[in-house]
Structure 1
Amino acid sequence: MNGIVGIGVVVCMVFGGYLLAGGNLGIIMKALPFELMMVGGAATGAFLISNDFHAVKKTLKDIKKVFRGPDWKPGDYRDLICLLYELIRLARTSPVAIEEHIEDPENSAIFQKYPKIVTDKEAIELIADTLRSASMNYDDPHQVEEVLDKRMEANLHHSLHSSHALQNMADGLPALGIVAAVLGVIKTMGAIDQPPEILGKMIGGALVGTFLGVFLSYGFVGPFSSKVKNVVEEDEHFYHLIREILIANLHNHSANICIEVGRQNIPVNRRPSFSELEKSLKELRKEA
């Protein structure tokens, strides 16, 4: 919602201010299709040159984050804690029984209680791989912690590629706007024998290229890049929660302490209250 409102504010304030100042929108509208073709088309071509097909596809998909926001909502964090609580309790009471759940999460009765989490391949693999490491009797939990940190760092690096790709496009748009403007000046110089009123409109049309490059860069593509980065980093807290709880489990803390360690590491705007979480865990105990 904020993304749509922001776009509306940018467009209304820029063009509204221009019109209120007595500007002639007709000159911009006449030149806009051609300038947009040059500036936008060149930026798109440069984007395709600098990224492979997978990166292009992922970037187009990640643009939705600008309008949709983070994938993981407060309720998802609560569900994740409940899932990990069930798995930890089962692993401690019956180490053999936990294997069927971590080896085949899609058919696990425990995992199936949380369908949204099951659809996230990275989250499921983090949980399964870490619990599997615990079953291998690692002498030093710090080894598992180091492996998790490296894995999550690499995952974040790949997830931020869309943001970097958009930022590169934003950085190049002003220069491409200058290219379009220079071409407009060249066109104007070819008609230097025309009267001043015609030359003025031609120069004005040429300057639309510069305007368009800067406007798209700082009004849209740059902010899109920042928003995608912020959303990716916020969603990364979901995977950090898995790390915190399962590493605490490897240090043989009680299940309740493991859960509280994880809860305290959730961002405030996503963190379930202690009483809310305790209520959910009590329901799980009753089911068990």
Structure 2
Amino acid sequence: MLNGIGLVVILVCVFGSFLMSGGNLTVILHALPHEMLAIGGAAIGAFVLGNSLATVKKTWAGVMRVFKGPRWTDGDYRDLLALLFTLLATFRKGGATAIESHLDMPQNSDIFGRYPKLLGDKGLIEFVCDYLRMMTVNFEDPHQLAEAMEGDIERHHAEELLPQQSLQMMADGLPALGIVAAVLGVIKTMSSIDQPTEILGAMIGGALVGTFLGVLLAYCLVGPIASKLLQIVDGDFKPYMIVKTAITAHAQGLPTQVAIELARRMTPSNYAPSFSQLEAALDEAKDELHAKPA
């Protein structure tokens, strides 16, 4: 919704101001198809040429993510904290044997099964299971564990940022591609230098449409999409930092509820549950944990 509003505002203000100043849209509309073909085709071709097939696919998925919006809500963060509490409490109470079956097959686990949306995030669930599994095999140094998790997060983050970086490179190159299209228009105009002034004026105006489109697409469409994708990718990796904080604090021997409280403070402020909201969620998790047969 917000994306659509922004796009409408851009189009209304840019073309509305042109019409208010006495401009004639006919010249732009006449030149638009072939200028767009030159600029858009060159941009897409350069994008495909400069990236792997995997990055191209991820970029398309990333653009879709921009229009769908962030995946994480305040309820999801609360569920993640409750899930971590249940897993860590089970680990502390029963040791490695109590938690191994949940880590080996999370899709069949009654603990993970309480949070189906989180279970659908395979990357995050694998991250949680991998590092809890490390702790079950006596990975005792909390600092080593934290460094390993940090390195893993940075690697995944860098991979997820490739589509955003590719889009930003496209945005940076679009003004130059607009100049390319404009130069082609000037070449065409110069080859018709014997035509009347009004015809030459229309041809030059059409050539300048290329420069206009290149700048417009770069700074009002592709650039903002790349910027928003960066925000979404960064936001999607906040849960990994929450997991890292909780597991590292647990490895340091802190009480489970204290570890979860430290993790809560890593939650983005717009989505962070309050202390009372988290306490209510943890009380529910405790009741379910105590209700499980020994």
TM-score (normalizing by structure 1): 0.98
Q: Secondary structure at the match of 1:72?
A: coil
What is the number of equivalent residue pairs in this alignment?
288
Partner of residue 83, structure 1? 83
Partner of residue 47, structure 1? 47
Q: How does 1:265-276 map to 2 (within 5 A)?
A: 265-276=266-277
Distance 1:154 1:244 in 2: 18
1:12 equivalent in alignment to 2:18? no
How big is the alpha-carbon RMSD for the aligned residues of Structure 1 and Structure 2?
A: 0.9
1:212 equivalent in alignment to 2:216? no
C-alpha deviation, 1:71, in angstroms: 1.1
- Which sits farther off after the overlay, 76-85 or 120-129? 120-129
Q: For 1:60-117, what per-residue CA distance to the aligned partner results, in whole angstroms no more than 9, with x for missing partners?
A: 1111232222111111000001111111111111121200000110111110111111
Q: Secondary structure at the match of 1:271?
A: coil
1:116 equivalent in alignment to 2:136? no
Distance 1:68 1:219 in 2: 19
C-alpha deviation, 1:272, in angstroms: 0.3
Partner of residue 253, structure 2? 252
- Counterpart of 1:269, as a letter, is N
Partner of residue 144, structure 1? 145
Distance 2:58 2:87 in 1: 32
Distance 2:246 2:92 in 1: 14
Distance 2:47 2:65 in 1: 19
1:71 equivalent in alignment to 2:71? yes
Distance 1:181 1:241 in 2: 50
Q: How does 1:220-235 map to 2 (within 5 A)?
A: 220-235=221-236
C-alpha deviation, 1:138, in angstroms: 2.2
Distance 2:276 2:144 in 1: 34
Partner of residue 32, structure 1? 32
C-alpha deviation, 1:236, in angstroms: 1.1
- Counterpart of 1:19, as a letter, is L
The runs of 5 or more residues in structure 2 that have no matched partner are none
1:176 equivalent in alignment to 2:183? no
- Which sits farther off after the overlay, 193-202 or 89-98? 89-98
Maintained 8 Å contact 1:65/1:227: no
1:280 equivalent in alignment to 2:281? yes
Distance 2:218 2:140 in 1: 52
Q: Secondary structure at the match of 2:110?
A: coil
Maintained 8 Å contact 2:142/2:252: yes
Maintained 8 Å contact 2:140/2:251: no
Distance 2:287 2:154 in 1: 38
- Counterpart of 2:58, as a letter, is K
Distance 1:285 1:85 in 2: 9
Distance 1:142 1:216 in 2: 47
Distance 2:140 2:44 in 1: 52
Partner of residue 107, structure 1? 108
C-alpha deviation, 1:176, in angstroms: 0.7
Distance 1:16 1:93 in 2: 67
- Which sits farther off after the overlay, 77-86 or 67-76? 67-76
Distance 2:39 2:83 in 1: 50
TM-score (normalizing by structure 2): 0.96
The runs of 5 or more residues in structure 1 that have no matched partner are none
Distance 1:265 1:215 in 2: 38
C-alpha deviation, 1:3, in angstroms: 1.3
Q: For 1:168-197, what per-residue CA distance to the aligned partner results, in whole angstroms no more than 9, with x for missing partners?
A: 101111111111111101111111111000
Distance 1:137 1:91 in 2: 13
